[in-house]
């Protein structure tokens, strides 16, 4: 059996990662792309990290769902539109049927207690902390999906999280209000009565909630990772996860209707079990969409997945030099900034691959990370020799676990000749001189500076 499974997997990978289907034209190309994305997502799910993080988010949600909703209602109450959001809260757990309504009633009761002033100042501070930590957990999960090694700084986290918690509920209510107000327009009523256009409007009204969910997912994919996400990739992830969410709702609702006898075995625990399973599936769908958005923006990682890239010495040397060149150009331009995310976007390499090299350059004093998370030269560019940059990736970083090797004399001579050739090529050229020699920026580099 293991050999059969191994053979099937090998045959499937051969079909997916070769040109076997491409000769069938457009249908073959579409099927190849679908199979590759499906393979990549399923591989990541079976690896366990996505499911583990989804379960972690379920636990965090149980602690912070009341503070989050209470905070949203406090903001909306100032606009006098909190009742509109309360009516729509029941749609979130609608697939759970009557159980979902019961859970929503209990949550709304707790929210009203919080907003009613039943908690003291310390408790309110704890509630606010749990609300912010919830958003932080989501960012960490998205950073994992996007291979981002460094989170936002504390200052950025606080300001951006508060912005999302404040503006997010208002944006949702405005969107819901716009959709609902369409039914009150005379022209729309007339069109609804039209035999041809009427069914189209009815279908649109039913699709609108799913469009909102898709838009919300796409916004999270664009905003939450601490890296630059292209809008198109965020939309791809949003559409895919929105479709999965809608499909999952139908499946779960059908399961609950047809398994009433099974749920009766759990008695009073059934409602809690259903809620936990539903939360877990929703978080898993959200993370799957984030992974799809990442692979859409970085298709080169579809096949290797989360395996740590093994860069050749030549690639690491070029990366170190190119990183210093881009940082130096941004430093000379008063309107530009350089971050790990921008370097990743400019070089077309995920930040998790660049981070060790950047960390080594920083450790050796060639780069400095400012409080605003910008990368700048560690010292005057006229005092940064290119041979020192190469030395970071060629000589430093050894753990010393192998001791001092006893090279054969012939190998030692070859190594010395290579070191001499590199030193002769670079000479005493500094980063400042390299910047002076390359004033003409490539289109990609100019885009990097203009961001």
* C-alpha dihedral (329, 335, 341, 342), degrees to nearest 10: -50
Q: What residues are paired with 430 via a beta bridge?
A: 385
- Which of the residue ranges 66-75, 286-295, 308-317 has the most confident prediction, judged by mean pLDDT? 286-295
Fold of 313-397+406-450: Arc Repressor Mutant, subunit A (1.10.10)
What's the chain's average pLDDT?
A: 76
In terms of pLDDT, which residue wins out, 182 or 440? 440
Q: Which pLDDT score is estimated for 290?
A: 92
Per-residue pLDDT at 101 exceeds 90? no
In terms of pLDDT, which residue wins out, 325 or 8? 325
Per-residue pLDDT at 97 exceeds 50? yes
Q: Give the residue from 349, 347, 383, 351 showing the smallest Cα distance to 366.
A: 383
Report residue 194's pLDDT band, with 50, 70 and 90 as the boundaries: low
Q: Which pLDDT score is estimated for 168?
A: 64
Q: Which residue has the tokens 């002076």?
A: 436
In terms of pLDDT, which residue wins out, 68 or 321? 321
Q: Which pLDDT score is estimated for 120?
A: 46
Per-residue pLDDT at 202 exceeds 60? no
Is the distance from CB of 18 to CB of 24 less than 8 angstroms?
no
Q: Which pLDDT score is estimated for 235?
A: 93
Q: Which pLDDT score is estimated for 434?
A: 87
Please state the rounded mean pLDDT for residues 387-391: 88
What percentage of the chain carries pLDDT values higher than 90? 9
Please state the rounded mean pLDDT for residues 8-15: 74
Q: Is 345 exposed, middle or buried (0-12, 13-18, 19+ CB in 10 A)?
A: buried
| DSSP H or E run through 131 | helix 121-145
Extract the runs of DSSP E, i.e. beta strands, from 270-425. Answer: 367-369, 375-377
Is the distance from CB of 165 to CB of 159 less than 8 angstroms?
no
Please state the rounded mean pLDDT for residues 147-157: 75
Q: Which pLDDT score is estimated for 233?
A: 92
Between the alpha carbon of residue 297 and those of residues 155, 225, 323, the distances in Å are: 28, 13, 21
Q: Give the residue from 245, 335, 338, 223 showing the smallest Cα distance to 289.
A: 245
**Spatial separation of the C-alpha atoms in residues 24 and 37, rounded to whole Å:** 19
Residue-wise DSSP of 271-303? HHHHHHHHHHHHHHHHHHHHHHHHHHH-GGGTT
Q: Which pLDDT score is estimated for 234?
A: 92
**Spatial separation of the C-alpha atoms in residues 108 and 126, rounded to whole Å:** 19
Please state the rounded mean pLDDT for residues 73-91: 62
Per-residue pLDDT at 295 exceeds 50? yes
**Spatial separation of the C-alpha atoms in residues 309 and 314, rounded to whole Å:** 14
Token code pair at residue 398: 């050894």
Per-residue pLDDT at 391 exceeds 70? yes
Q: Which residues, 6+ apart, have CB-to-CB distance to 75 below 8 Å? A: 165, 166, 169, 170
Per-domain residue ranges of the chain? 2-42, 49-301, 313-397+406-450
In terms of pLDDT, which residue wins out, 237 or 311? 237
Q: Is 435 exposed, middle or buried (0-12, 13-18, 19+ CB in 10 A)?
A: middle
DSSP conformation class of 116:
T
Residue-wise DSSP of 50-93? HHHHHHHHHHHHHHHHHHHHHHHHHHHHTTT-HHHHHHHHHHHT
Please state the rounded mean pLDDT for residues 277-291: 89
Please state the rounded mean pLDDT for residues 119-132: 63
Please state the rounded mean pLDDT for residues 117-140: 69
Q: Which pLDDT score is estimated for 144?
A: 87
Helix boundaries (H) for 146-269: 154-181, 186-193, 198-223, 231-258, 260-266
In terms of pLDDT, which residue wins out, 193 or 130? 130
What percentage of the chain carries pLDDT values higher than 70? 66
**Spatial separation of the C-alpha atoms in residues 319 and 321, rounded to whole Å:** 5
DSSP conformation class of 214:
H
Is the distance from CB of 339 to CB of 375 less than 8 angstroms?
yes
Per-residue pLDDT at 152 exceeds 80? no
Is the distance from CB of 197 to CB of 121 less than 8 angstroms?
no
Please state the rounded mean pLDDT for residues 146-162: 75
Between the alpha carbon of residue 446 and those of residues 208, 245, 367, 450, 451, the distances in Å are: 40, 40, 21, 6, 9
Phi, psi (deg, nearest 5) at residue 9:
-65, -40
Q: Which pLDDT score is estimated for 232?
A: 92
Q: Which pLDDT score is estimated for 289?
A: 92
Is the distance from CB of 320 to CB of 397 less than 8 angstroms?
no
Report residue 135's pLDDT band, with 50, 70 and 90 as the boundaries: confident
3-state SS assignment for residue 430:
strand
Residue-wise pLDDT tens digits, 415-426: 888 888 888 888
Please state the rounded mean pLDDT for residues 348-374: 85
Report residue 292's pLDDT band, with 50, 70 and 90 as the boundaries: very high
């Amino acid at each position: 059996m293991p050999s059969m499974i191994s053979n099937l997997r090998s045959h499937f990978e051969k079909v997916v990662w070769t040109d076997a289907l491409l000769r069938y034209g457009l249908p073959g190309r579409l099927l190849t792309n679908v199979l590759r994305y499906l393979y990549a997502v399923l591989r990541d799910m079976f690896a366990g990290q996505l499911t583990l993080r989804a379960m972690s988010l379920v636990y965090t949600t149980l602690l912070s769902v009341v503070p989050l909703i209470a905070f949203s209602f406090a903001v909306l109450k100032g606009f006098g539109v909190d009742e509109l959001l309360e009516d729509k809260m029941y749609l979130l757990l609608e697939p759970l049927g009557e159980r979902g309504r019961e859970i929503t009633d209990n949550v709304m009761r707790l929210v009203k207690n919080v907003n009613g002033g039943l908690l003291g100042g310390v408790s309110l501070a704890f509630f606010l902390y749990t609300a912010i930590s919830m958003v932080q957990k989501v960012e960490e999960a998205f950073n994992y999906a996007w291979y981002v090694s460094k989170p936002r700084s504390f200052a950025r986290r606080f300001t951006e999280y508060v912005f999302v918690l404040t503006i997010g509920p208002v944006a949702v209510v405005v969107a819901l209000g716009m959709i609902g107000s369409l039914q009150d327009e005379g022209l729309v009523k007339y069109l609804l009565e039209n035999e041809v256009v009427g069914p189209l409007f009815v279908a649109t009204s039913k699709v609108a909630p799913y469009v909102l969910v898709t838009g919300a997912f796409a916004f999270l994919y664009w905003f939450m990772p601490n890296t630059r996400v292209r809008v198109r990739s965020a939309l791809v992830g949003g559409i895919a996860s929105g479709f999965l969410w809608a499909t999952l709702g139908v499946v779960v609702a059908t399961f609950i209707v047809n398994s009433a006898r099974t749920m009766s075995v759990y008695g009073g625990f059934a409602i809690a079990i259903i809620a936990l399973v539903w939360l877990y599936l929703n978080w898993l769908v959200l993370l799957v969409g984030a992974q799809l958005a990442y692979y859409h923006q970085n298709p080169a990682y579809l096949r290797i997945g989360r395996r740590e890239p093994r860069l050749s010495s030549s690639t690491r040397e070029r990366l170190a030099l190119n990183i210093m060149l881009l940082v130096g150009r941004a430093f000379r331009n008063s309107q530009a900034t350089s971050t790990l995310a921008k370097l990743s976007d400019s070089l077309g390499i995920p930040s998790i691959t660049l981070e060790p090299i950047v960390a080594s350059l920083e450790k050796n004093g060639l780069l400095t990370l400012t409080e605003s998370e910008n990368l700048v030269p560690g010292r005057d560019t006229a005092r940064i020799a290119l041979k020192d940059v190469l030395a970071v990736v060629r000589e430093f970083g050894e753990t010393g676990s192998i001791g001092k090797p006893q090279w054969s004399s012939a190998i030692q001579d070859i190594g010395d000749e290579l070191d001499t050739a590199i030193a002769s090529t670079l000479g005493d050229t500094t980063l400042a001189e390299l910047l002076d020699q390359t004033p003409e920026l490539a289109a990609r580099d100019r885009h990097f500076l203009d961001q």
